Amino acid sequence: MALNIPLTRGRAGAGREARRYPWRSICLFLGPALALYCAFIIVPVGMTFYNSVNRLQVFGASGIRYTYVGAQHYDRLIPRPEVTTQPAQMVAGVVPLTLAWGDNTFRLAVEHSLTWALVSPFLEIPIALLLAYLLYLKVPFARFFRFAWFTPVLISWVVVGIMFRWIYNYEWGIVNTLLRLVSLDALAVNWLGRLDTALPALIAMTTWKQVGFNLVILLAAISSIPAELFDAARMDGCNRRQILVSIVVPLLRVTIVNLLVLCFMGKMEAFAAVWVTTQGGPVYSTETVATYMQKRAFNWQTLDLGYPSAIAVIWFFVVFGLAMLFQRVLQRREIVEF
Amino acid sequence: MRTAQGAAAASRRRTLALASRRLSRLLLFIPLGVVTAILLGPFVWTLMMSFRLTNEINNNPYGLPIPFHTYNYTYALLPAKPDLLAMGEAVGIWPEATAAWLDRAGLENGGFGFGTYILNSILVVGPALVIVTVVTTMASYAFGRPRYDFPGRGMVFIFVFLSMFFPPQITLLSLFQLTVTYDIYNTRWALMLVYPATAIAFNTYLLRAFFAQIPTEIEDAARIDGCSDWGMYWRVMLPIARPAVATTLVFNFINFWNEFLYALTLVTKPELNTIPLASWRWVGEYYLDVGGLAAGLVVSILPIVVLYLALSEQFMRGMTAGAVKG
């Protein structure tokens, strides 16, 4: 026991001796990670903040000229609320304000990213929960299904994107082939090439890829609920649907909120899924904040890294803030421990 | 009499109940089968197309691979013509002979040379995995054990942990600039160092929890035996943490292997492309060559699929670690 004394922390003790810390070892163990972390995460974050108040012009491979522009980029990017009298322009139809956007493409990108990030969780998680519950009810070959359905999670966006370009192909894609097979030719459209179907098609694609991920996590969580709870509910006359709604979902609250935040963040950052399929087109109808930033930085020949940096900073606060908010608001209620 | 009848009726009811349960079991397989078809269908389709010629696919995209062609794979894996001629010369084959052989095989310009990109991926992901594993196990050990609980350790940990919630865009453009400054832009070093850095937060978060729950008695015993701090980490703690390290390894492997955004931004030389970038470039150049592209996709997902078949539970645990609770 005496051995434990120098090893436990002495903050609580009133007569706390000055503890000697093995600083050399601490530096040895933490040093490399912190160095790497600072060099490739913290310094770049700081630089992005600094760049966002400058105009950066790149000359050749190494020369970059900075011009301080203050909040100019933010002025253009952040929408200003203005009073309006026309109901059609009001926020949510009732608030007598309209948002004046300085950069209309950015506005579209924000709308698409938010739509994506708010719709996806309500597709992925319920589908995954239903399937997980199905597998939990001792379906034969449940292990095989779990194994098979997880496969898309492991595949890169590039491969998924190319496969879905084929699947959505107007002439010979599987979606249209099936629609024509049941004589719904009118519904067979160029899914990735139309303004109104491109974003939903991409949302369906991300759902396809991520359902297995949510499923495996939810199945693990359901399996960790003690069987007695299910038995008790069954004895009280609950059917399977009631068990799902009133036992499984409340008990899995922590996991579900975690998945929701993960899914939300993933879609707010969506880049590769768009880049390999539509590249933001047709006519910006699938532009996300990430793709717009990339284009402004490298593809538009605007030769300014400051403006996309300001986009990154704004988006950083939006994503980080909303993720924290969701965790706070949804996770706040006391958690049922089992 | 009545009882016999009753028994017969009961047995009939039982058979009926059993039959209906069987039926509902069978009906259950319909949604399960549909979901499986939706989730695995694209892979099966791609695999079938990869063994067919593009003009066959154009006639009927859903035909079976009969006759069976391996031409697409030859094209995907064979190096480009100039590389191939040079390689032939190196082992004493006349360029003319190589060219004639290519003509006979119907590959006048050589292949796409996917092997190079597989090698690139291995050369980037391998070192990155080593770096991130060494660095984060060390840090998590110091974050997790009471012996190193210096004042402010919790703050340092949160400082590292928070970056889990950063969108990659916040570092991307500056990393582009920084890699130019550090003189590693357009080299494998850029990805080899950036990938581990992006994984530090999550790895440390997972491994710290694991190290923290190892009983102190083990440490005490080793210390009495004269174990140094480094020896404690290397010979005592790391072996105990092997299952947790395996989990993070899988997670990191999948993420690094499939990474697209940094690879696109930090490496622009085609000859240094990793697999995702090479596949993407291939679509750009030969979108209409469906068969060839399908073979490329199969080749690019093959390493992951093979590993997944061998270590499926490990993969599921690795990819989903940290999200079940917490």
Segment B51-95, tens digit of pLDDT: 888 888 877 888 788 888 888 888 888 887 777 777 877 877 777
Is residue A333 scored above 60 in pLDDT? no
- Over pLDDT 90: what percentage of chain B? 25
pLDDT class of A7 with cuts at 50, 70, 90: very low
Segment B218-226 long-range contacts (CB within 8 Å, at least 24 positions apart): B219/A7, B219/B145, B219/B147, B220/A3, B220/A4, B220/A7, B223/A3, B224/A3
Other CB atoms within 10 A of residue B153 CB: 16
Confidence of residue A9 (pLDDT cuts 50, 70, 90): very low
At residue A8, does pLDDT exceed 80?
no
pLDDT of residue A60: 62
Query: What 3-state class would DSSP assign to B79?
Result: coil
Residue B200 CA to residue B136 CA, distance in Å, equals 6
Question: Average pLDDT of chain A?
Answer: 84
Q: What is the pLDDT of residue B125?
A: 94
Per-residue tokens: A303: 């030769």
Encoding tokens for residue B159? 């400082």
Tokens linked to A141: 């070959």
Tell me whether A164 touches chain B (CB under 8 Å). yes
Find residues 150-189 of chain B whose CB sits inside 8 Å of chain A: 150, 156, 160, 163, 165-178, 180, 185
Asked if B40 reaches chain A (Cβ–Cβ under 8 Å), the answer is yes
* Per-residue pLDDT, A228: 86
Listed by number, the residues of chain B in 214-233 with a beta carbon closer than 8 Å to a beta carbon of chain A are 216, 219-220, 223-224, 229-230, 233
Indicate whether B302 pLDDT > 80. yes
Say whether residue A317 is in contact with chain B using an 8 A CB cutoff. Answer: no
Judged by DSSP in three states, B64 sits in: coil
Would the CB atoms of A312 and B193 count as touching at under 8 Å? Answer: no
Q: Do A44 and B170 touch (CB under 8 A)?
A: yes
- Beta carbons of B150 and A320 less than 8 Å apart: no
Name the β-bridge partners of A100. Answer: A80
Per-residue model confidence as pLDDT tens digits over B254-293:
999 999 999 999 998 888 999 999 889 888 877 778 888 8
Partner residues linked to A63 by β-bridges = A59
C-alpha dihedral, B27 to B30 to B33 to B37, nearest 10°: 180
Q: What is the pLDDT of residues A277-291, one digit of tens each?
A: 998 878 899 999 999
Asked if the C-beta of A272 comes within 8 angstroms of chain B's C-beta atoms, the answer is yes
**Is the per-residue pLDDT at A313 higher than 60?**
yes
CA distance A167 to chain B (A): 8
**Pair B224, B183: CB distance under 8 Å:** no
This prediction's pTM: 0.86
Q: Which of A48-57, A132-141, B154-163 has the lowest mean pLDDT?
A: A132-141
pLDDT band, very low/low/confident/very high, at A225 (cuts 50, 70, 90): confident
Tell me the three state secondary structure of residue B78: coil
Q: Do residues A130 and A220 touch, judged by C-beta distance below 8 A?
A: no
Which residues in chain B (252-271) have CB-CB distances under 8 A to chain A?
254, 257-258, 260-261, 264-265
A9 to chain B, closest Cα gap in Å: 7
Residue A62 has pLDDT above 80, yes or no: no
* For chain B, percent of residues with pLDDT exceeding 70: 97
Beta-carbon contacts of B109 under 8 Å, excluding residues fewer than 6 positions away, are B80, B81, B102
> What distance in Å separates the CA atoms of residue A329 and residue A56, rounded to the nearest whole number?
39
Of B28, B254, B326, the CB nearest to A139: B28
Both tokens of residue B262?
A: 């940094």
d(CA A251, CA A236): 18
**How close is the nearest chain A Cα to the Cα of B261, in Å?**
7
Spatial contact of A222 and A254, defined as CB atoms under 8 Å apart:
no
Non-local CB neighbours of B152 within 8 Å, separated by 6+ positions: none
- Using a CB-CB cut-off of 8 Å, the residues of chain B touching A157 are 258, 260, 276
Q: What is the pLDDT of residue A336?
A: 46
Distance from CA of B103 to the nearest CA of A (A): 30
Q: Write down the pLDDT at residue A208.
A: 95
Q: Alpha-carbon distance A266 to A210, whole Å?
A: 10
**A143 to chain B, minimum CA–CA distance in Å?**
10
Q: Kindly identify which residue of chain B lies nearest to residue A313, measuring between CA atoms.
A: B170
Tell whether B47 lies on the interface with A, counting CB pairs under 8 A: no
Closest partner residue to A44 (CB to CB) among B174, B297, B323 is B174
Q: Considering only CA atoms, which of B103, B104, B85, B105 is closest in space to residue B95?
A: B85
